[in-house]
Amino acid sequence: MEETKQKFDVDSAAILVKDLRRTFNSGKTKSYDWRISQLESISKMIEEKERDIFKALKEDLAKPEFEAFAAEISMTKSSCKLALQELKQWMMPKKVETSMTTYPSSAEIVSEPLGVVLVISTWNYPFLLSLDPVIGAIAAGNAVVLKPSEIAPATSSLLAKLLGQYADKSAIRVVEGAVPETSALLEQKWDKIFFTGGARVGRIVMAAAAKHLTPVTLELGGKCPAVVDPNVDLEVAARRIVAGKWVANNGQACIGVDYVITTKEFAPKLIDALRSVLEEFFGKDPMKSKDRARIINSFHFKRLVNLMDDNKVFDKIVVGGGRDESKLQIAPTILLDVPEDSSIMQEEIFGPLLPIMTVEKVEDSFDMINAKPKALAAYLFSDDEQIKTKFVQNVSAGGMVINDTILHVTVSTLPFGGVGESGMGSYHGEYSFDCFSHKKSVLYRSFAGESPTRYPPYTPQKQKQLKAFMSGDIFNIVLALLGWVEKDRERAQARSGNKGKNVKDDGLTPEQRRERDAKALQEKAAKKAAQAASGGNNAGGGGKDSKNKK
For residues 474 and 369, give the distance between their C-alpha atoms in angstroms, rounded to a whole number.
Answer: 52
Looking at the structure, tell me whether residues 141 and 207 fall in a common domain.
yes
Domain presence at residue 428: no
Looking at the structure, tell me whether residues 343 and 362 fall in a common domain.
yes
Q: Which of 393, 400, 438 is nearest to 419 (CA)?
A: 400
Looking at the structure, tell me whether residues 384 and 270 fall in a common domain.
yes
Looking at the structure, tell me whether residues 496 and 405 fall in a common domain.
no
Looking at the structure, tell me whether residues 504 and 396 fall in a common domain.
no
pLDDT for residue 483 is more than 70? no
Domain presence at residue 3: no
Domain presence at residue 535: no
Instruction: Give the other-Cβ count within 10 Å of 449's Cβ.
Output: 15
Domain presence at residue 70: yes
For residues 398 and 429, give the distance between their C-alpha atoms in angstroms, rounded to a whole number.
Answer: 16
Lowest mean pLDDT among 1-15, 75-89, 443-457, 477-491: 477-491
Asked if residues 320 and 333 have their Cβ atoms less than 8 Å apart, the reply is yes
pLDDT tens, position by position, 382-429: 999 999 999 999 999 999 999 999 999 999 999 999 999 999 999 999
* CATH for 286: 3.40.309.10
Domain presence at residue 385: yes
pLDDT of residue 27: 98
Q: Which residues of 366-402 are buried (b: 16+ CB within 10 A; e: fewer)?
A: bebbeebbbbbbbbbbbeeeebbebbeeebebbbbbe
Range of the domain at 497: 449-528
Q: Which of 431, 435, 369, 356 is nearest to 397 (CA)?
A: 369
Domain presence at residue 158: yes
Domain presence at residue 541: no
pLDDT for residue 505 is more than 60? no
Looking at the structure, tell me whether residues 215 and 232 fall in a common domain.
no
Domain count, the chain: 3
Per-chain mean pLDDT for the chain: 91
Kindly indicate the confidence band of residue 546, based on its pLDDT and cuts at 50, 70 and 90.
Answer: very low
Looking at the structure, tell me whether residues 412 and 327 fall in a common domain.
yes
User: Please, how many CA atoms are within 13 Å of residue 489, restricted to the half-sphere of its CB?
Assistant: 15
Looking at the structure, tell me whether residues 268 and 318 fall in a common domain.
yes
- Which of residues 385, 408, 441 is at a domain's end? 441
pLDDT for residue 154 is more than 60? yes
Q: What is the pTM of this model?
A: 0.86
The pLDDT of 222-246, averaged and rounded, is 98
Domain presence at residue 86: yes
Looking at the structure, tell me whether residues 182 and 288 fall in a common domain.
no
pLDDT tens, position by position, 99-146: 878 888 999 999 999 999 999 999 999 999 999 999 999 999 999 999
Looking at the structure, tell me whether residues 16 and 161 fall in a common domain.
yes
Position 287, amino acid = M
Q: Catalytic amino acids? A: 219, 254
Looking at the structure, tell me whether residues 160 and 271 fall in a common domain.
no
Strands 172-174 and 143-147: parallel
Looking at the structure, tell me whether residues 210 and 247 fall in a common domain.
no
* CATH for 128: 3.40.605.10
The pLDDT of 204-222, averaged and rounded, is 98
DSSP 459-483: -HHHHHHHHHHHHT-HHHHHHHHHH
